Amino acid sequence: MSFPLLTATAVLPAIGAIATAAVPAAQRTAAKWLALLVSLATLALAITILVRFDPDGGRYQLTESHSWIADFGVRYELGVDGIAVALIALTALLMPFIILAGWHDADPLETGSRRWRPTQGFFALILAVEAMVIISFEATDVFLFYIFFEAMLIPMYFLIGGFGDRAHEHGEEAASTQRSYAAVKFLLYNLIGGLIMLAAVIGLYVVAGNFSLQEIAQARANGSLHMATSTERWLFLGFFFAFAVKAPLWPLHTWLPNAMQESTAPVAVLITAVVDKVGTFAMLRFCLQLFPEASKWATPVILVLALISIVYGALLAVGQRDIKRLVAYASISHFGFIILGIFAMTSQGQSGATLYMVNHGISTAALMLVAGFLISRRGSRLIADYGGVQKVAPVLAGTFLIGGLATLSLPGLAPFVSEFLVLVGTFTRYPAVGIIATFGIVLAALYTLVLYQRTMTGPVKQEVSAMPDLRVRELVVVAPLIVLLIFLGVYPKPVTDIVNPAVKSTLSDVHKKDPKPSVEAAK
């Protein structure tokens, strides 16, 4: 039997989570190092998947299939296409940086505090989330996917509510209340979406008789499985609603600013750069593949919602006083671009959307982690409490600027390529939608540059006059992300070569072809 590489990549961080949680309370440093080593080992397995995956070797590779609940047609089925491989690599890549950035975030609080933070629990929960996200990207059994799609809410709930940001202007008691509110709101929104999806999963089983994504899609393609139009649309809506909450898409987005504001910076990165990608990934894997006709039926409405997300998120980012809330609303705008690319139903749009998931993860991680380092020094998330930082901490300011420029999709940095592909792919089929979406770019430049100007330039405020620059550990976190942003901005081919064949397969699922150019090339 061949080595179960996909299972190992998901099981390793799960075992690491249990082992980290079991480290004695007095050995906090040992727990941190164990979590870091497990994340690096998981990254090595993800790189092995990347090396062994052949973009032209068929849609799903490295497959595993075992009977699980035979009476209900549930199987333990795993397989990866190019889109899943790219997102598994992103997840495994970010985890060591998240752990390093949060090295002291779960240390015991000051003497006399009412709250005690179990350091081992913090890092164990991060590894548990990694395990559940990875297996969600690998699962090709709908029921198996659903279990981990929902299960990841539990560790995320405790990370938000139990290990929130210490920087709060109203004191610890108010901070605890806000953290609890953000955690409960996150859980309720996603649980409601998950319950609606569960009804759709059951409905799918009633219609298809099993949960295998590949078998159902193949039966639909060859005509042996027929869904009534109304049935397909209702099932699509059940799945899409859950994914739109996770993504998040307007108007189901309101949990994200609260969750990111009250989380530590590494957990905020975990939310928006890793966990939320499961929602957009699932739109490509499940919505389009299982319900192609319903996907085309819903496209006009989804494009409008995506446009609202782009413009609305960017407008609200402009007016934010809190650094983390600004990044949260910027992410809502970016997820609008991703969903726009998915439902533009063009190869450029879907390639751009997949590339956007990867690039957004890297750029948001860079910006948010540097912002976290900044906030930890000053003890405040409010933009107005900063000024002149670049004169006292030039390296911190420089990395913050690069992260911000990546967020506004500056040419030469990775997000530009993906945003350009999304806009081109959208414009070729929906010109008006593509034109409106470009306003998001203008607004992104506004909120990013205003943020940098207010925090980094101008007179040095007394409270930041003694602010230290980035330390070695912090440079180890940020520098590789900056290098990746530049490398993928100049040379995105390694990622596009992996995802393009999977995108072509997805387009064939919905029976779509790229529009022909309106002007033929000169002979």
C-beta of residue 268 within 8 angstroms of C-beta of residue 368: yes
**Burial of 314 by CB count in 10 Å (0-12 exposed, 13-18 middle, 19+ buried)?**
buried
Report how far residue 371's alpha carbon sits from residue 381's, in angstroms, rounded to the nearest whole number: 9
The gap from C-alpha 512 to its chain's centroid, in whole angstroms, comes to 27
> Which residues pair with residue 69 across a beta bridge?
74
Would 395 be classed as within a structural domain? yes
Q: Please tell me the distance from the alpha carbon of residue 341 to that of residue 335, in angstroms, as a whole number.
A: 10
Q: How far is 100 from 33, CA to CA, in rounded Å?
A: 9
Mean pLDDT value across residues 229-253: 91
How many domains does the chain divide into? 1
Q: Is 141 helix (H, G, I), strand (E, B) or coil?
A: strand
- For the segment 66-85, what is each residue's pLDDT rounded down to a tens digit? 888 877 778 889 999 999 99
pLDDT, one tens digit per residue, over 141-150 is 999 999 999 9
Query: What range defines the domain where residue 191 resides?
Result: 5-104+116-509
Q: What is the pLDDT of residue 343?
A: 92
pLDDT value at residue 377: 85
In a domain, 520, yes or no: no
pLDDT of residue 115: 46
The span from the CA of 384 to the CA of 396, in Å, is 18
CA dihedral (497, 501, 506, 512) in degrees, to 10, reads 100
In a domain, 21, yes or no: yes
Is 516 a member of any domain?
no
pLDDT bracket for residue 173 (50, 70, 90): low
**pLDDT tens across 257-278, in order?**
988 888 888 999 999 999 989 9
Query: Averaged over 482-500, what is the pLDDT?
Result: 92
Among the residue ranges 9-13, 167-171, 249-253, the one predicted with the least confidence is 167-171
Distance between CA atoms of 422 and 413, rounded to whole angstroms? 16
Tokens in use for 464? 């930041």
**Is residue 210 over pLDDT 50?**
yes
pLDDT of residue 174: 64
In a domain, 70, yes or no: yes
- Residue 488 has a CB neighbour count (10 Å cut-off) of 25
Give the DSSP letter string of 229-280: HHHHHHHHHHHHHHHHHHTT-TTS-THHHHHHHHB-HHHHHIIIIIITHHHH
Residue 43 has a pLDDT of 96
Q: What is the pLDDT of residue 510?
A: 75
In a domain? residue 111: no
Q: Would residue 29 count as lying in a domain?
A: yes
Average pLDDT over residues 443-462: 88
In a domain, 59, yes or no: yes
Greater confidence (313 vs 110) lies with: 313
Evaluate if residue 436 carries a pLDDT over 70: yes
Say if CB 122 and CB 134 are below 8 A apart. no
Within 8 A by CB and 6+ apart from 232, the residues are 291, 293, 294
CA distance 333 to 181: 24
Q: What is the rounded distance in angstroms from the CA atom of residue 357 to the CA atom of residue 423?
A: 15
